[in-house]
Amino acid sequence: MAIPLYNRDLSWLSFNHRVLQMAADPQVPLYERIKFLSIFSSNLDEFFRVRMPAILAINKVLERDPDAAGEESPTPETLQEVMDTINRQQEEYGKIFTGMLLPAMQQQGITLFYGTGLAPELAARTRAYFQATVQAWLLPVWLSHRHKKFFPENNALYLVVTVSPQGTPDKQEIVLVNIPSGLKRFLTLDAPDGQFHIAFLDDIIRAHLPYLFRGYIIHHSYCIKLTRNAEIDMDEMKGDVLEEVETMIRKRELGVPTRFLYDASMPLSLRNFLAGQFEAADNEMVPGGRYHNLKDLADLPMPAGLSGALYPKARPVVQPEAAAADYLLDLIQRKDLLLHLPYEQYDPVLRFFSEAAVDPDVEEIYVTLYRIASGSQIAQALISAAQNGKAVTVFVELKARFDEANNIRWSKKMKEAGVKLIYSIPGMKVHAKTALVKRRRGYLWDYSGLIATGNFNESTARFYTDHVLFTAHTGITREMELLFLYLQSREQPMAYHFLQFEHLLVAQFNMLTRFTDMIDREIANAQKGLPAKVTVKINNLQEKSMIAKLYEARQAGVEVDLIVRSINCLQTGIPESDGIRIVRIVDRYLEHARVFIFHNNGHEEVYMGSADWMNRNLHRRIEVCVPVYDAALRQQLKDIISLQLADSHQAQQAIQAYVQNIV
């Protein structure tokens, strides 16, 4: 029987719409609302780079063979529904920006010239800036003169300018002028009226095109942007892994177009000419406004001293036991610790690696790194550890989309320092967030483990909500060691089928089975008339068998509560899902933690880890979830989840207060 599923792409678009709604919320500070517009635009760019190629490809297949659709395949109507949804959201975006935020900025004495041209009294300043700074960056490309096709950069901005030689106005030519990404998108301008004026770089270039085209009549200029396919198959790699990934990154920037974004006021004849030049299909042509790349709004200048325009400065609290301990590794041997980010300081994670790097008794360090911070203290600590003579083994996932180049850069540095590097397993990503430190104690060893729901990345730790468990539990740490032994083999999981994990849930080995068994146990309890409940917090819910199991649980009388931030393919409004509570939280921080709570007739089991319930996580990745055995730490996770289920709008403030109270 077919399992009712909601389309993943439409679900993701509804999430991005929730981001857009934050920009319309008057309770959100002004410049934070502008940042939400930036996030919406950045998210949509990634959608066109990653998901749209798959939708277009499936659409082409179904046009040739309508019977080729699988149970989860989008129908031919899906593409149109996706584009209609995006167009509605873009229209709403414009109304929020021009109808709400620009007037709100005016009330604060801020003028952003948006489609109105620059004020004449500012002409001298903008001309000087153009002549001294901007002009040197401009590279006009005369499309009507070229015999060879021009290849626009991915997501770069260009002005399409139509010009005619003076004296022959009917002889129009088409020129592409880059809007330099190496310059700031916005220029602040002092003005006699006391207003804080901001101009788009685009408009500064438009206003001074006569300096670029002397002897020509300038007719019109329109902004365009091409987004290219980024979904390169990096699963099957052989030979020198670093070289192959570096090559694939370069190819990504040369991918086929998935969106040609153009100014909707552009005439059809010019649009068709450009589509032919850049090999963009009709369904890849997307009308837009005068400005593109509005993700740059994240860098919109703000007047000094403007009050109430940002969220109040958050002050992460100190984890008191870690702060009081002279040696964190010794404290972990005595008790488990649980860190709640970003409400608590990230210092204990940094200390974990820093202490291990210099402790004379530490002999071995193991860690998985998925997205490394650009200025990573953790990577630097691992380099120091290797230079101090310790055996440091690091699994670096080179296929972490859009972070490959940064991961490669750090990989080379660590390798030079003597760190043993393990690279990507063919056909599989390692998404687990785990670290293990081994210290010699005479003839014995002690083990300190670190398992997190998010990356070991001190940059994202400031605004991603995650949990980090420090533990010396013998069963957990020994299984972590087994996992690292497996990762060093770089073999497929079936070659290591004999590995048995009793404490850890490890995707490819026991995770899917154990999650299914724990839900089945709740179903059995409900059928016996016992209390039964499943509570899950994840980023994405898409895997078919897990959705089917949640339907089955609810039909059996199990209470099901879900916090799903982004993609949610569980179909609501149908009998199978009746009574399932679903909460989506979009707020100041990015909800990123994965937590799983099973009632178990009062003997609750609580897990946390890296795994979402998606096909890729449960079937094509190495993920790790860990049981939280300490009763007090379990209660902390349960309390935080309860706060989020109770109030999806002010949950951030409630959790901040809760964490301050428990420490």
Which residues have a catalytic role annotated? 431
592 labelled as ligand-binding? yes
- C-beta neighbour count of 570 within 10 angstroms: 26
CA 77 from chain center: how many Å? 28
> How big, in percent rounded to 5, are the helix, strand and coil portions of the chain?
45, 20, 35
List the beta bridge partners of residue 225: 157, 261
- Tell me how far apart the alpha carbons of residues 454 and 241 are, in angstroms, rounded to a whole number: 25
- Kindly report the backbone phi and psi dihedral angles of residue 28, in degrees, each rounded to the nearest multiple of 5, phi listed first: -85, 135
Q: At what angle do helices 52-64 and 30-50 cross, to 10 degrees?
A: 40
Is 631 exposed, middle or buried (CB count within 10 Å of its CB: 0-12, 13-18, 19+)?
Answer: exposed
Count other C-beta atoms under 10 Å from residue 192's C-beta. Answer: 7
**Beta-strand relationship, 362-369 and 391-396:** parallel
Q: Give the chain's end-to-end CA distance (angstroms, integer).
A: 50
464 is in an annotated binding site: yes
CA-closest candidate to residue 604, choices 490, 543, 518: 518
Instruction: Tell me which amino acid residue 245 is.
Output: V
Report whether 371 belongs to an annotated binding site: yes
242, 412 contact by CB (below 8 A): yes
Instruction: Show the tokens assigned to 656.
Output: 């901040």
- The response to whether 197 counts as a known ligand-binding position is no
**HEC assignment per residue over 554-610:** HHCCCEEEEEECCCECECCCCHHHCCCEEECCCCCCEECCEEEEECHHHCCEEEEEC
**What does the alpha-carbon distance between residue 25 and residue 6 come to, in Å, rounded to a whole number?**
27
CA proximity to 81, closest of 15, 8, 24 = 8
Q: Are 536 and 562 in contact (CB under 8 A)?
A: yes
Please count the other Cβ atoms lying within 10 Å of the Cβ belonging to residue 412: 12
- Do the bridges between strand 157-165 and strand 173-179 make them parallel or antiparallel, or are there none, so unpaired? antiparallel
- State the burial class of residue 70 (Cβ atoms within 10 Å of its Cβ: 0-12, 13-18, 19+): exposed
Spatial CA neighbour of 609 closest among 514, 490, 528? 514
How many Å separate Cα 400 from the centre of its chain? Answer: 11
Rounded to whole angstroms, how far apart are CA atoms 625 and 595?
Answer: 9
The DSSP code sequence of 93-147 is HHHHIIIIIHHHHHHTTEEEE-SS---GGGHHHHHHHIIIIIGGG---EEGGG-S
Binding positions for ATP are 43, 464, 565, 592
Binding residues: 43, 371, 401, 464, 565, 592
Question: Which residues belong to the annotated binding site for Mg(2+)?
Answer: 371, 401
